[in-house]
Amino acid sequence: MSLVSVYTNRDIVKKYLDDINNVTELINEKEENQLPGFVISSCAVKQYEMKRNYLNINMLKKRKLADNISGYELLDNLYQHIYMHNHIGMEDELYEVLDAYKKYENLSLNTDDEKIMMTKLLILEEWIDAYHFITELTSTLKEHFMMTLQPDKIKSTKELLEYYFTEENDFSDGVKYLVQAEGWHIAEEINSYLPSIFPQFIDIRTYEHKAFIESGKQAMRTLQRLNREFIRETNFKDWKQYPNNYFDPIKFANLSNINRDMYYYCIQGISYNLGALSDLLDKKLNENNSDDVYKFIYAVYNQKRKLNIDRQLNDPRYKLNNNGNIIGDKI
């Protein structure tokens, strides 16, 4: 079932857009061109916080780890699952992007304007879902790196697992610091490619013009390749023994480079699909200003993050009961 939450929650998106506009004014008072770093860092840190506060609790429960597992053996066990989970999740979302494009392509010529807009919003929302998994990889890499610095302290006791994976503490603060710094590095790298990442926004307000579909599919296929390259660099094979130093600084650097490339193509894919949101919110999208892309990403990401947290707490599909509400408009 395809649900569009952006339409239902457009007032929430507007609020986050107002928030980032206020932040932009403060940032630009200090130095120009700082918005991309702020947005990428902020989203990656917030994704890490959501993972620790809402997602990792169930992840640890389902692992059913033996009491005597610790150190590198424990890290190998946990991060094999975490990387595979992220890989499958992102692959699924990228196919959701493809399915949304197909929905658009299959619209008849006499489709009403609202249906066209909702389908375009669905494409955008699926791209943002993929962006969630990319930001999650950023924090996972920094978290994993921090743990390899002190493997002897990592043990499968309830208290230590909660400390390293679920609580807000000195360890999580250290990870957030690294994630924040990485976000600024990613933004600097993307900015070095400008204007090629946003060469000229494709006008997608005209229904007959479908070039944005092929451009989006190309970005999506590149992300699928990068997702495959990433998992092949990890310890995903059960039938293979990995040395304790398999995840060394060079390995983390290689994985981080792949993760940085993912941002480039995902943001490019998102940029092709912002016209419908601009129309929905009645907010002008400057086609020659990449800051507008980052503002819209910030607003839609945070709306979807809020929705994901609400789902963890209230959606019957996540809680295994019939209480709560399913949020979104079916397409």
Where do the structural domains in the chain lie, given as residue ranges? 36-108+119-294
pLDDT tens sequence across 181-190: 999 999 999 8
Q: Provide the pLDDT confidence category of residue 206 given band limits of 50, 70 and 90.
A: very low
CA 198 – CA 194 distance, rounded (Å):
7
Residues 104-111: what's their mean pLDDT? 91
How far are the Cα atoms of 135, 155, 181, 191 from residue 35, in angstroms, in the given order?
17, 40, 14, 11
| Helix 113-148 × helix 35-50 angle, to 10° | 70
pLDDT tens sequence across 302-327: 999 999 998 888 777 666 666 656 65
Average pLDDT of the chain? 88
- Paired with 155 in beta bridges are 70
CA quadruple 86, 89, 93, 99: dihedral positive or negative?
Answer: positive
What is the Cα gyration radius of the chain? Answer: 20
Chain centroid to Cα 274, Å, comes to 17
pLDDT tens sequence across 25-81: 777 655 656 899 999 999 999 999 999 999 999 899 888 888 889 999 999 999 999
**Which pLDDT value is given to residue 304?**
95
Residues 149-171: what's their mean pLDDT? 93
Residues 192 and 183 sit within 8 Å (Cβ to Cβ): no
pLDDT at 85 over 60: yes
Residues 124-150: what's their mean pLDDT? 97
pLDDT at 204 over 60: no
pLDDT at 288 over 60: no
Burial class (CB in 10 A: 0-12, 13-18, 19+), 302: buried
